[in-house]
Amino acid sequence: MTLLRRPGIALVTLLFLLLGAAFLTQVVPYRQIIEAQRQVSSAEAQLASLEAENELLQADVAALNTDEEIEKLAREKLGYVQPGETAYVVLDPPGSAPTTPPVVETPLPPEKTWVDQIWDFLTGDDLDDSG
Concatenating the DSSP letter of every residue in 27-68 gives HHHHHHHHHHHHHHHHHHHHHHHHHHHHHHHHHHHHHHTSHH
Q: How far is C-alpha 18 from the chain's CA centre?
A: 39
**Residue 111 domain-assigned?**
no
Query: Structurally, how many domains does the chain consist of?
Result: 1
- Closest-CA residue to 120 (of 26, 130, 40): 130
pLDDT digits (tens, 9 = 90+) for 4-30: 677 788 888 999 999 888 887 877 788
What is the pLDDT, as a whole number, of residue 128?
Answer: 66
Domain that holds residue 49: 1-80
pLDDT digits (tens, 9 = 90+) for 23-74: 878 777 888 888 899 999 999 999 999 999 999 999 989 988 889 988 888 8
Percentage of residues of the chain with pLDDT beyond 70: 91
pTM flag (> 0.75): no
| Number of residues that this document lists for the chain | 131
Q: How far is C-alpha 29 from the chain's CA centre?
A: 23
Helices 7-64, 67-78: inter-axial angle, 10-degree rounding: 100
